[in-house]
Structure 1
């Protein structure tokens, strides 16, 4: 990665184009249309050879898509055939830094306000806040306003509920910093109220049960400002601290003021910033981008599903950019919206409406429209010649045109027989979901193999609610060795999911709540560090797994561990200790026939089930050379039993 100052010498670099500052906004309901305009703009206005293009994205998947789009081959020469389904790009994607907004803005705070005024990482990040909250809570609970939290934690002998509460509150304050920075600013100044979006309505008083939130917020600010010294013993650690705190809401105000006063671009800011593909952004991010536009060329590519102004349908007024749909009545009440607007926008678009309403405050399209027209491009890209011949295309077109659902079913567009553009598939498990997806993709590849636009793996994006749960299933199904493997890449996996040791540590920290199932323990033993700690060889694991499964290990370390799950006392069958004892006895005596036969009750003849020793039935004839792994396994189970009690 180039040094931070790589963009500061670019203005005078020979061959660099004139990158004039501005806040340029592109709207389209299709990413492909936004991509085409961006490619043309970057081709016409390239940066200097040693400059990095800085792009803000909302996910790693979006970053990969844009990189592939920029790296696509340029338009073919006259007479040369174009690749099927290919869209023209720049031919290369290099010196491009993809970042998330939060990280970029923190770096921008340091560049504008000075590295000495802004720490390298925020002390208000939720990963840090949770520990501060956990430490401060005991000293704050006696305060009357904290009665709801005091009642909640009244039955918390091991501190588990306090930790869970700290995690939830830290996440709540993190969301406030993003979406309700105005509340935090007021709370820092001692104004314990809830400011509304409509300033004319005035703030709402804080409910009594929530009065602890501003007190805790100021206590956190006090603790951070004092370095944790004396916060708990202070008479009132929640006194107003004003804007001196270094949370994002306080830094944002100083950042905006500094940008307004600066006459030239502060050192460390890029000459151009591309904000790609966001369908919603918080207001403070829009404020920051607009302020950066005084010194930086900011290109905001907005995924807007509708070509008409839909941020506020009930109050018609002069619009800055998008026209109000002509067919809408002049005045609409909330209960009438469903008859005149698209139900998907009404149901799913609240954040999008807030985004567009906030964008209106900063967007001046007349100041840059001609610059795109000079390249033969437009800034509003909603015309689409794609025929609405599939159900998915019909839904997209209705959203784009703000069309309501017709009351008369006969007036709705017909769905072609065999239309598979929009499908709902129900499966009984996540594994079955992935298997069904794999089979469906194989069928699509085969079906379109000989068409003019064959389907390519890079044309497919699969979204799941939690990639941590689906990643191992995708790897198992899509990388199968039976000739049906499909190429894939898993994105947006948290670092914990990519580091087996961190995954094992996370599981061990939750050991008191773990059932210690067969899958959990074998996943733990697959970690090389755990194998090294207990002297296990990776080559021994398949044999050990086969032995323990055959000996009946299913879940629970022992009978005591199972008792925590409200199982009957003394129920040790199918626990790990149960299986270990069977295996060790099998190693000691060999074949079960070597044991004395226990007398059968009531004079019945003895059976194989009666051949036991101290109530344990030996399993298998385990040889001395093969049994070397039983000792380390016994040590693993003993350590797990100890820490399950100690934690």
Structure 2
């Protein structure tokens, strides 16, 4: 049984998770399993549960892929996921197989691309192999049914033929699998009532999924099968309590209209609902994911216990949140526009000329919020499309010594979801060395290597030599 808890309030979902963990814990010595999608969410939910209980421990937070591997090992231990199916390994295998296939008729388009002046371009071969490896790896999860169909039905498409060559080259043993085969093999024993007692001893008492933005059908199918053995609880943030999975943005409707115009179909016969335009344009990924979860409701495998919060405020942000909650659009004749106070600053936009300036403005804005409201640092979350771009500026601007020097209060902070390169100077230095060796030995890149103390200490290069080297490069105009 899958229990789906939905709300537009993440703190409410955290409270519900805590109550479920407390009430349904069968064995206090066995760790609870809460599946999350990022380290940031793991840290946030750990703090919330610690506040709720006073102390919180004995809980593990695997990612969906790691938990799936645990299920495969517990249920089908005889089947093994070959490491050669990862995209990094597939690059080299595809690079070796493609030249052998170019004389086959289906591979004629590939041959036209790879062969330059009578010889195979190694650069193009690597680039194509790299792209294909990535796509095959993605397909084995996001389109796993297609991958399985490729192996069963005849086809002359070169992509399908290449996949079959890859599979035969890796292993002809049916126990050596790729991801799509694993999900196919694991479903049958999970759904077999004869295995329930044995598998209950191998799996966690209960499984909780919290704050996951999107999951491919691959994992939803797996969790649905696991729910026949142990209860699975999904705590899902849903911005609207209405059924908003058929709404389309204006651009999407125009795109569909152009497509069906040639087929002599009236767009009005499709009954597309515009709903809330912000939700329709920015919520497409969540729309597909939550809609996929609700599709299982047709089989009575999901219990939806929704609890939604209406914002009791007259601010612009509160009005937008409530309009999204009710999936309405203001100013379209049905719902009048709301008057907003000129002093309303619930949503502000700052135009900055660089990432450094963005962080400086952010710091001043946070200090102002802390001084004028009851908000504390623990209540503030800052999001960025690529945190690695901003990480060095955050460390510089929010540095304790810098804040003391400028007479500003110290702001506690933590940066989550960074790449490994930015979490360790040693890893960063090693990565930069590899990039320099693979590049054209640009002067600025080589000079950056000398800024690492780990490198200068290893080779006994003193600071004044580093400064002299930088000066020589600049004076000689070395590029």
Which TM-score band (shorter chain)? Answer: 0.7 to 0.9
In structure 1, how many angstroms separate the alpha carbons of the residues matched to 2:432 and 2:2? 47
1:508-587 matched pairs, under 5 angstroms: 508-511=433-436, 513=439, 516-518=442-444, 520-527=445-452, 529-536=454-461, 540-541=462-463, 543-551=464-472, 553=474, 573-575=476-478
Offset of residue 430 of structure 1: 1.7
Counterpart for residue 223 of structure 1: 169
Match of 2:347 among 422, 442, 464: 422
Counterpart for residue 404 of structure 1: 329
In structure 2, how many angstroms separate the alpha carbons of the residues matched to 1:544 and 1:413? 66
Q: Is the deviation greater in 418-427 or in 250-259?
A: 418-427
In structure 1, how many angstroms separate the alpha carbons of the residues matched to 2:121 and 2:367? 51
Match of 1:307 among 241, 257, 269: 241
Match of 1:180 among 133, 138, 143: 143
Q: Is the 8 A contact 1:278 1:302 kept in 2?
A: yes
Q: Is the deviation greater in 505-514 or in 475-484?
A: 505-514
Corresponding position: 1:57 with 2:57: no
Offset of residue 385 of structure 1: 4.2
1:79-98 matched pairs, under 5 angstroms: 89-98=52-61
Q: Is the 8 A contact 2:296 2:302 kept in 1?
A: no
Match of 2:204 among 270, 279, 296: 270
Counterpart for residue 585 of structure 1: none
Bigger relative contact order (CA 8 A; separation at least 6): 2
Offset of residue 408 of structure 1: 6.2
Counterpart for residue 283 of structure 2: 349
What do the CA deviations read for 1:601-620 (whole angstroms, capped 9, x no partner)?
Answer: xxxxxxxxxxxxxxxxxxxx
Counterpart for residue 262 of structure 2: none
1:4-43 matched pairs, under 5 angstroms: 22-43=1-22
Offset of residue 529 of structure 1: 4.9
Q: Is the 8 A contact 1:24 1:365 kept in 2?
A: no
Shift in alpha-carbon separation, 1:309–1:408, aligned structure 2, 3 A:
closer
In structure 1, how many angstroms separate the alpha carbons of the residues matched to 2:346 and 2:443? 41
Corresponding position: 1:164 with 2:127: yes
Shift in alpha-carbon separation, 1:522–1:157, aligned structure 2, 3 A:
farther
In structure 1, how many angstroms separate the alpha carbons of the residues matched to 2:416 and 2:423? 11
What do the CA deviations read for 1:49-68 (whole angstroms, capped 9, x no partner)?
Answer: 21111111111111111111
Q: Is the 8 A contact 1:27 1:301 kept in 2?
A: yes
Offset of residue 500 of structure 1: 3.4
In structure 1, how many angstroms separate the alpha carbons of the residues matched to 2:88 and 2:424? 18
SS of 1:24's partner is strand
- Pick the structure with more helix per residue: 2
In structure 1, how many angstroms separate the alpha carbons of the residues matched to 2:269 and 2:465? 69
In structure 2, how many angstroms separate the alpha carbons of the residues matched to 1:529 and 1:159? 35
Corresponding position: 1:118 with 2:80: yes
Shift in alpha-carbon separation, 1:381–1:517, aligned structure 2, 3 A:
farther
Counterpart for residue 273 of structure 2: 337
SS of 2:197's partner is coil
Counterpart for residue 212 of structure 1: 158
Counterpart for residue 177 of structure 2: 246
Shift in alpha-carbon separation, 1:218–1:42, aligned structure 2, 3 A:
same
Q: Is the 8 A contact 1:279 1:304 kept in 2?
A: no
Q: Is the 8 A contact 1:52 1:97 kept in 2?
A: yes
In structure 2, how many angstroms separate the alpha carbons of the residues matched to 1:141 and 1:491? 46
Q: Is the 8 A contact 1:55 1:97 kept in 2?
A: yes
Counterpart for residue 464 of structure 1: 384
Offset of residue 36 of structure 1: 1.7
Counterpart for residue 613 of structure 1: none
SS of 2:4's partner is strand
In structure 2, how many angstroms separate the alpha carbons of the residues matched to 1:353 and 1:178? 19
Q: Is the 8 A contact 1:343 1:405 kept in 2?
A: no
Counterpart for residue 318 of structure 2: 393
Offset of residue 551 of structure 1: 4.3
Q: Is the 8 A contact 1:221 1:245 kept in 2?
A: no
Counterpart for residue 256 of structure 2: none
Offset of residue 131 of structure 1: 3.0
* TM-score, normalised by the number of residues in structure 2: 0.84
Offset of residue 212 of structure 1: 2.5
Shift in alpha-carbon separation, 1:47–1:218, aligned structure 2, 3 A:
same
Match of 2:357 among 416, 424, 432: 432
Match of 2:191 among 254, 257, 260: 260
1:315-326 matched pairs, under 5 angstroms: none
SS of 2:180's partner is helix
Match of 2:111 among 130, 150, 154: 150
SS of 2:246's partner is coil
Offset of residue 276 of structure 1: 0.5
Corresponding position: 1:100 with 2:55: no
Higher CA-based Rg: 1
Offset of residue 150 of structure 1: 3.2
Give the aligned CA root-mean-square deviation in angstroms: 3.0
Offset of residue 513 of structure 1: 3.5
* TM-score, normalised by the number of residues in structure 1: 0.64
In structure 1, how many angstroms separate the alpha carbons of the residues matched to 2:109 and 2:419? 34
What do the CA deviations read for 1:266-300 (whole angstroms, capped 9, x no partner)?
Answer: 24311111100123321121111111111112110
Counterpart for residue 306 of structure 2: 380
Shift in alpha-carbon separation, 1:225–1:400, aligned structure 2, 3 A:
same
In structure 1, how many angstroms separate the alpha carbons of the residues matched to 2:440 and 2:56? 46
After the TM superposition, list the runs of 4 or more consecutive aligned residues in structure 1 that deviate by more than 6 angstroms. 364-369
Total equivalences in the alignment: 450
Q: Is the 8 A contact 1:122 1:246 kept in 2?
A: no
In structure 1, how many angstroms separate the alpha carbons of the residues matched to 2:224 and 2:421? 35
Q: Is the 8 A contact 2:246 2:272 kept in 1?
A: no
